[in-house]
């Protein structure tokens, strides 16, 4: 891995959705691990860590993903495909471990809070998975920039086909995927950001 380094603002400013990746560039296993070690620091409600990540580097599998992505080339040409999924049962799967570094009373408090919020509300579980995976996806993309790499977030794929490729377990939801690699050509100029005056409101609308 290179010693490429940038500050957070620069990573945000230079992060672009790359459409054409260099198919000859391959991330090392160590780089993939380093990336994912930072991704799992992304926040989740109650620290339930309800995301699950399928990392794909096998070329044959990436080619299948490209087919499921309606023929888009990014998955097969990028070095790494990260498929972000939500575990709908994370809230009840050994919940005490989510606060294992804290006293037992804190662990029990969180366990009870998780049950109150999610036990009878599948929509809340789904919403939480989407929120968690969204924050993790941004963490992937900004971490990739820190490593001198590029990325492309993707939701244009056939859900059932991708689920079959990755053998998606029951009670899991595919939220999106992010391709990471080296760009073969730069992204087009940004389409045009709306002014702050149209999207930011102080104290209330």
pLDDT above 90 as % of the chain: 97
pLDDT tens profile 31-52: 999 999 999 999 999 999 999 9
Could you tell me the CA-to-CA distances from 41 to 38, 61, 123, 142 in Å, in that order? 5, 27, 25, 13
pLDDT score at 133: 98
pTM score of the predicted model: 0.95
Report which secondary-structure segment, H or E, holds 36. helix 29-39
pLDDT tens profile 114-131: 999 999 999 999 999 999
Q: Which two tokens stand for residue 46?
A: 């109650």
- For 194, which DSSP code? P
Name all domains of the chain by residue range, CATH numbers in brackets. 15-183 (3.40.109.10)
- Contact assessment for residue 173 and residue 88, using Cβ atoms and an 8 Å cutoff: yes
pLDDT surpasses 80 at 5: no
pLDDT score at 1: 47
pLDDT surpasses 80 at 196: yes
pLDDT score at 4: 63
- Contact assessment for residue 51 and residue 44, using Cβ atoms and an 8 Å cutoff: yes
Q: Which two tokens stand for residue 4?
A: 């490429």
pLDDT score at 45: 98
pLDDT score at 6: 77
pLDDT tens profile 179-190: 999 999 999 999
pLDDT score at 73: 98
Separation CA 145–CA 60 (nearest Å): 26
pLDDT surpasses 60 at 178: yes
pLDDT surpasses 80 at 2: no
pLDDT tens profile 52-101: 999 999 999 999 999 999 999 999 999 999 999 999 999 999 999 999 99
């Amino acid at each position: 891995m290179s010693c490429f380094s940038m500050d957070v603002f620069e990573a945000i400013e230079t992060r672009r959705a790359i459409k054409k990746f260099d198919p000859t560039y391959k991330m090392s296993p160590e780089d993939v691990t380093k990336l994912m070690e930072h991704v799992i620091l992304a926040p989740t409600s109650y620290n339930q860590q309800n995301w699950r990540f399928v990392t794909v580097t096998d070329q044959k599998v990436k080619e299948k993903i490209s087919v499921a992505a309606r023929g888009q080339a990014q998955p097969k040409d990028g070095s790494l495909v990260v498929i972000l999924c939500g575990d709908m049962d994370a809230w009840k799967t050994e919940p005490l471990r989510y606060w294992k570094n804290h006293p037992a009373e804190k662990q029990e408090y969180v366990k009870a809070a998780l049950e109150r919020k999610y036990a009878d509300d599948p929509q809340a579980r789904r919403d939480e998975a989407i929120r968690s995976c969204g924050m993790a996806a941004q963490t992937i993309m900004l971490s990739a920039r820190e490593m001198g790499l590029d990325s492309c977030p993707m939701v244009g794929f056939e859900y059932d086909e991708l689920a079959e490729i990755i053998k998606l377990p029951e009670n899991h939801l595919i939220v999106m995927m992010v391709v990471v690699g080296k760009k073969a050509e730069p992204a087009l100029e940004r389409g045009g950001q709306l002014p702050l005056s149209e999207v930011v409101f102080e104290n209330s609308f």
